[in-house]
Amino acid sequence: MDDDRALAGELATAAGRLLLDIRANSGLAGKELGDAGDQRSNELLIRRLAEERPDDAVLSEESADDKSRLSAARVWIVDPVDGTREYGKGDRADWAVHVALWSSADGGGLIAGAVALPALGVTYVDDPGPVPPTTGLASSPKGDRPRVVVSSSRPPAFSQPVADAIGGEVLSMGSAGAKAMAVVRGEADAYVHSGGQYEWDSAAPVAVAQAKGLWCGRIDGSPLVYNRDDTYLPDLVICRPELTEQIIAVTAAG
């Protein structure tokens, strides 16, 4: 698994460097930049996985879904650019590259994952090592109150009730990976989401967050399940373990 973890980190980092080069040198902006980044990052990840793990299946946001993955022993779940809109703006740091590995062993689960934050020059992998509190994703320094990060484009209706339940405040941010890593990095205490996500949005962030000791699950408290026929996985909670009960009491009620 260490080799898989190292490969996940290497691929996420390499894709991130490519994306930075495209953003700096292509002359593109907005949707055109986002589309170019998605395509070329996906090409890199698919090519490298074919070279490095030819017997494994791949599920990518930017490739056709080959259903043979459902009977595969190992499936890489990748998002070549998570937060394409933020990436396309050129001056945003809240976008990411996701690379995760799912295995059918022991009933199925994530066994490796990496999230690159290319604009910050850092990649997080699913090792248990501590992460020193840092800044760079949030628009303002974190105060004493707990902070709940939510989607800037699709904030859930329970955003403020969750913040109220833990005596905190709400902060909007792009990219599921960036929001999850804001919790990993200590810039936030919880990330809650409802609606509009797929397996590639959360697989790598969840692998990393779980390894760092955070609680990850669905808004009703049930586990997150990957490599399903239907890749839609609409909701997610990632939080400090001691906040789980208070948060799920709100999110499970709708």
The residue among 57, 91, 125 that closes a domain is 125
Q: Once rounded to an integer, what is the mean pLDDT over residues 142-155?
A: 91
Residue 138 belongs to a domain: no
Q: Is the pLDDT of residue 154 over 80?
A: yes
Report the domain count for the chain: 2
Confidence band, pLDDT 50/70/90 cuts, at residue 133 = confident
pLDDT in tens, 166-195: 999 999 999 999 999 999 999 999 999 998
Q: What is the pLDDT of residues 52-62, one digit of tens each?
A: 999 999 999 99
- Whether 100 is covered by a domain: the verdict is yes
pLDDT in tens, 8-62: 999 999 999 999 999 999 999 999 999 999 999 999 999 999 999 999 999 999 9
Q: Please tell me whether residues 113 and 159 are part of one structural domain.
A: no
Instruction: Decide if 239 is inside a domain.
Output: yes
140 found inside a domain = no
68 pLDDT above the threshold of 90: yes
**36 and 6 in one domain?**
yes
Q: Say if residue 18 is in the same domain as residue 119.
A: yes
- The label of the residue with tokens 């000791």 reads 213
3-state secondary structure 39-57: HHHHHHHHHHHHHHCCCCE
In a domain, 142, yes or no: no
* pTM exceeds 0.85: yes
Same domain for 156 and 101: no
205 is in which domain, residue-wise? 147-251
Across residues 193-200, what is the average pLDDT?
Answer: 95
Residues 161 and 231 occupy one common structural domain: yes
Residue 2 pLDDT exceeds 80: no
Segment 190-215 mean pLDDT: 97
Per-residue three-class SS string for 129-184: CCCCCCCCCCCCCCCCCCEEEEECCCCCCCHHHHHHHCCCEEEEECCHHHHHHHHH
CATH number of residue 6's parent domain? 3.30.540.10
Q: For the domain that residue 225 is a member of, what is the CATH number?
A: 3.40.190.80
Find how far residue 232's CA is from the centre of its chain. 15
Tell me, what's the pLDDT at 142?
A: 80
The residue count of the chain comes to 254
Predicted pLDDT of residue 1? 56
Average pLDDT of the residues in 82-98:
95
Q: Is residue 70 part of a domain?
A: yes
Domain co-membership, 171 together with 244:
yes
The whole-number pLDDT of residue 180 equals: 98
